[in-house]
Structure 1
Amino acid sequence: MDNTKEKNPPPLSFTDRIPTVKDINLKEKNIDKMNMTIDFRHRPYVIYNDFSSNKMRTRREGVTYCFISVIISFIFGLAIGIVLMSGQYEEKVVVKERHTTPRNMNTVKPETKEESNKFAAVSFTGKENKYNKDIYPKGLTEVMKDILKDKKNDKHPFVFNKTFVPDTSTVLYDNIYWGPQIEDAMPQGYGESSAQIWEEYIDETEIVKMEAGCGRMQNRLVTFKDGLQACVRYRQNTDQIQGEIFSFYVGRLLNLTNLAPSVVRIVDLKDRLWKNVANDIVTAQWSSNRAVVLTQYIPSLESASIPDVFRPTNRHLNKMDIMKMSLKENDTEINKQILIDKLRVKDLKLKQELQNFTHIDLKLNKKTIDRFLELAQWSDLIIFDYLTANLDRIVNNLFNYQWNVNIMDGPAHNLAKKMDSGLLIFLDNESGLLHGYRLLKKYNVYHSLMLDNLCVFRKRTIDSLKRLYNTKSVGSLLGDMFHKKNSIVIRDILPSLPEKNAKILIERIGKVLNQVEKCEQNFR
C-alpha cells in the first residue's frame, strides 16, 4: 500500500459543508473577526459569515445617529451665540443713547445694571494692561503714549488753539501780533478823514508863495493864503507821479496812517489855485497842463534810523525778540530773574517749554513802549515797501551796504519821525508800483530780505491784506478811488494804474500773507 499522502485533499462533500457544533463554538470565540474571513488553520476551511448582515446594519445606524447629533449641536450652539451677541449690541445702544439724549430733570432715570459685560472688547492700553507688557512701538515718547491711552472720559493735558483774549496789558498775542498795550499807544497819524479834508481844502484855497524845497530840484514848497504849506512834486516822467499817488491810495486801502494826505492837480495858470504864482511857475520851468502831486507839509520832523533788529547783523523781529526786549528794558529784579530763567536755561527740553508761549502780558515802561511803537510802524513800513517795490528807502541802504558798511548807522532815506508823537512819515513814494516793478529782477532780493525776517505784524494791516487778496479787488478799488477823487481833466492827462501792475500787486500781497503763515507755523 502506498503511504504517500495526497497532495490535494479531495473536495468536500455536501455533508462536509454543513457546520458542526464545534464549528459554531469556534465562531462564537472569534466573534470579533471581520466578515468573510477564512480560517486556514483548520480543515475543513471555515468561512465566518453568520453575523455580517446584522453588523453592517448596525454601522449604518451609528453613522446616521452621529450625523444627526452633530447637526443638532451646531444649531443649538448657533442659537446660543445669537442670543449672547444680540444682548451685547443692545447694551452698546443703551450706552450711546444715554450720552446723546438730553436729560430732563423730570425724566425718570432707568435702572442700569452695574455688572460689566464679560464679552466686551478688551483694551490693550491704559490700566487694563494686566501683564505690564509694553505694547507701544519702540521709541514712542511718554507724551505720545499718554495720548494713545484709551481715556475717553479724561481731558487731555495739552490744550491746542487756546483762545486768548488780549487786554490793555498785552504786548503780543497769537505769537505774531502786536497787543493792545502797543496798538492803543500808537500815534494817530493821517486817516481817511484827514485825506478828505485835504482834498476839500485844496479845492478852495490859493497858493500865495512858491519856493525851492521838498527834495529834488523841480519840487517846490508852496504856502497857501492861510499859512498852511504843501510839497509839490513835479516830474517830467508821468509814471513817477502815478507811483506817488497810487502808493498813497494803497496806504489808504491798508489803513496806514503814516502817509501824509496827497492829491493830484493840473498845473493851469488860469486856475485859482495857481494864478498868484504864475511867475514862480515859469522860473521853476514847469510846463502847463502837467499833473503834479500836492502833499501836506508836516513840520517838526527829525530823521529816523533803521532799528538794530533790522540791521545786517541781526535782521529779524519775532516774538522771542519782543520777549527779550520786554524783560531787558523793564529793569526790575523780577524781570531780570525771568530773563535768566528763559534765556540761559541749559536743559534744551526745558528751554523749549519756556519758549512755548503765545502771548506776552507785561506792564512796560515808557522807554520800552516807545521802542515798540517804532517797531510796530516798521512792521507796516516793510510790508508797504515790499508791496509797492519802493527803491528809495530801505532798499537804497541795503544795496549800498556792500560798498559802505556804515550806511546802516545813518538816517534811513525818505523816512522821518514827528518829534511830538513819534509818528513815522513815509516820504517820497514815487518809485512804487511802476518804476519799482520794472526793476524787480534786479532789486527784489533786497525787498524780500526784510520781509522774510519779519514775524511781528499789526493785526489790522494783515486783515486788510486778507480782504484784498480774497476778493482780488485791489486793482478795481484803486481804479475806483482814482476816478472818484480826480476830475475827467486829470484822468485825461494822468493814466490809471495798468492792469498788469495791479496783478503784480496781488501777487505780492499773496507773498506777504505767505510770510504771515510761515511765522504762524514757526512760532506757534
Structure 2
Amino acid sequence: MQINATVEKVQVNFSKRHAPENAGLRDGKTFNIRSPVIRNNVIEHRVFWSAWLDSLSTRVFGVEHERKWREQVRDARVVVLEAGCGRPTNRLATFADGTRACVRYGIDADQVLGETLSYYLAELLGISNLPPLALSKLNLSSEQWASVRGNIEASEWSPNAIVSLTEFIPNVTGVFIPLHLRKQQGGGLQLSAETISNMTVTYLVELMQWSDLIIFDYLTANFDRIVSHIFSLQWDARVMERTTNNLLKTINGHLLFIDNEAGLVHGYRVLDLWERYHRLLLSSSCIFRRSTVRRISEMKRSGNSAKLLYELYRAREPLARELSSLSEEHALTLQYRIDVVYKHIKQCTEIM
C-alpha cells in the first residue's frame, strides 16, 4: 500500500466530516460509551483509526477558546502566586478575574522555548491535547506582576525573564500506559477482532490519543514522559505499571500532554542518550489517526517543517522574537524526525 495514495483517500474522507469543536473543556462530552465493537468499525485500511471512532473525539480545547485565553492572560493581573503545577520551579497563578494558570520558569530559556515550540508543533499536527499557552515577561513594575513582586523575588526568578503560562485544568488524574502498548514495545500495536471485542469504546478513544502522543513525543524527542519509563525498565521491572510522567486525564476522558520543556531544544541536544528509547516507543504503534498522517505527509512534502513552525509561532506569539526559535541544526533534526515518522507509517501500511 502506498502511503501517498492512502493519505489522498484520507483527505477526501476527512474533509467531508466536520466534527463539532469543544468550547474549552466545558462541553460535557464524555467517552463512556459501552457497546459491541467490531474491528471493521474501529480500524480502516489496517492502519487507521476509523472515521466513526475519530468522530467521538472532538478537539480537547476549541480553537476560539485557545485564542481568547491567550489574549486574556497576556495582560491579566496576577493576584496570587503559589506553589503548584508540578516541578518546584513552577507556580500556580490566580488572576484578578479568578482564572488560574500554571507559570513555568525554566532553569534556562531553552526550557521555555521547548515548551512553547512543542505547543505550536502540536497545533501544526492538529493535536489539541496541550493546554492553551502564552508567554509573559516578568516585568515586576508592570500591572500584570506588580502585586506578586515579593513572591517572584522570593522565588529568585530573574526580572524580565520570559515565562510560559498554560491554562490550569482542575479535576485531573494520572494516566497509566495502556496494557496493549506495554505488551507491544518494539512490535507495533496490532488489534485483532477478538482483542477489540473485549475493549470499551472509552478505552479505544484513549488508545487513539496515545497514538498521537507517541508520534508527538518522537518528533519533539521528549524523554520526560513515556521514554523515561522505558529507560527505567533496566532496573525497575514495574515502572510501566505506574502513572506516566507529565500526562493527565480529564473527567471527560481527554489526555493532557503537559510540561513539555524537554521537547525539541533540550531533547535534541541529548539525543545520543535517548534515541534508542525514542525509536522503541515509535515502533510500539502501527495504528494512526488519518488527520495526523495527513499533517505528517504535508510537513514531509514541505521539506522545511521548522519554517512552518516558526511562522505559526511568530504569528501567534508577540514575544517570539525575544525568546528566539530553533537553531539551524535543530531545524534539520525536526525535518529528519518528520521523515522517520513518515517512513514508519509507510512501513506499517506494508506489513500489516
Change (3 A) 1:436 1:314: closer
Q: Is the 8 A contact 2:101 2:167 kept in 1?
A: yes
> Where do 1:233-382 residues align within 5 Å?
233-312=104-183, 316-319=187-190, 321-329=191-199, 368-382=200-214
- Return closer, same or farther for 1:453/1:424 CA change in 2, 3 Å cut-off: same
TM-superposition CA deviations, 1:466-499 (whole Å, max 9, x none):
1111012321122222322333xx3454222212
- Output the amino acid matched with 1:212: A
Partner of 1:413: 245
In the aligned structure 2, how far is the partner of 1:281 from the partner of 1:199? 22
Q: Which residue of 2 aligns with 1:390?
A: 222
For structure 1, which runs of at least 5 residues remain unmatched after alignment? 1-160, 330-367
Of the three residues 256, 259, 273, the one matched with 1:425 is 256
| Deviation at residue 502 of structure 1 after TM alignment | 1.3
TM-score by length of 2: 0.86
| 1:170 aligned counterpart, secondary structure | helix
Q: CA separation in 2, counterparts of 1:313 and 1:472?
A: 31
Deviation per residue, 1:62-110 (Å, 9 max, x gap)? xxxxxxxxxxxxxxxxxxxxxxxxxxxxxxxxxxxxxxxxxxxxxxxxx
Count of aligned pairs: 320
Give unmatched runs, 5+ long, in structure 2.
Answer: 1-5, 18-39
Q: Which residue of 2 aligns with 1:470?
A: 301
Letter paired with 1:324: E
Shift of 1:501: 0.9
2:339 aligned to 510, 513, 518, which one? 510
Structure 1 residues 382 and 232, CA, compared in 2 at 3 Å: closer, same or farther? Answer: same
In structure 2, the CA distance between the partners of 1:177 and 1:312, relative to structure 1 (3 Å rule), is closer
- For each residue in 1:430-451, what CA deviation from the matched residue of structure 2 results, as whole angstroms up to 9, or x when unmatched? 0111111111112101011021
Task: Identify which of 53, 65, 87 aligns with 1:182.
Answer: 53
Decide whether the 8 Å contact of 1:176 with 1:318 is kept in 2.
no
Match of 1:220 among 83, 91, 97: 91
In the alignment, what sits opposite 2:35? none
- Partner residue of 1:494? 323
Q: Hey, what does 2:33 align to over in structure 1? A: none
Structure 1 residue aligned with 2:349: 520
Shift, 1:268, TM fit: 0.3
- Deviation at residue 188 of structure 1 after TM alignment: 3.0
1:454: how far off? 1.3
- The 5 Å alignment of 1:49-68 reads none
Residue pairs, 1:456-467, within 5 angstroms: 456-467=287-298
**Residues 185, 280 of structure 2: 8 Å contact kept:** no
Alignment CA distance shift 1:314-1:501 (3 Å): closer
1:229 aligns with 2:100: yes
Name the Cα RMSD after superposition.
Answer: 2.2
- Residue 437 of structure 1 aligns with which residue? 268
Q: Which residue matches 2:236?
A: 404
SS of corresponding position for 2:107: coil
Distance 2:78 2:140 in 1: 11
Structure 1 pair 482–313 and aligned structure 2 pair: CA distance change class (3 A): closer
What is the CA-CA distance between 1:236 and the residue it aligns to?
A: 3.1
Q: Distance in 1 between matches of 2:65 and 2:187?
A: 33
The structure-2 alpha-carbon separation of the partners of 1:191 and 1:469, relative to structure 1 and needing over 3 Å to count, comes to farther
Matched residues in 2 for 1:404 and 1:517: separation?
Answer: 34
In 1, Cα distance between equivalents of 2:112 and 2:284: 31
Give 3-state SS (helix, strand or coil) of 1:294's partner.
strand
Which residue number corresponds to residue 202 of structure 1? 73
**CA shift at 1:193, angstroms?**
2.5
Amino acid at match of 1:392: D
Letter in 2 for 1:430: E
Please state how far the C-alpha of 1:194 moved relative to its aligned partner. 2.9
Quick one: distance in 1 between partners of 2:187 and 2:293? Answer: 18
Residue 484 (structure 1) aligned to one of 315, 321, 337: 315
CA contact (8 A) 2:186 2:283 kept: no
Q: Residues 402 and 312 of structure 1: is their aligned pair in 2 closer, same or farther, counting only changes over 3 Å?
A: farther
Percent identical = 35
Task: Specify the code of the residue in structure 2 equivalent to 1:263.
Answer: A
Q: What are the Cα deviations for residues 287-341 of structure 1, in whole angstroms up to 9, with x where unaligned? A: 111010000001110000001112157664544x152322234xxxxxxxxxxxx
Contact 1:187–1:423, Cα closer than 8 Å, also in 2: no
Partner Cα distance (1:323, 1:459) in 2: 20
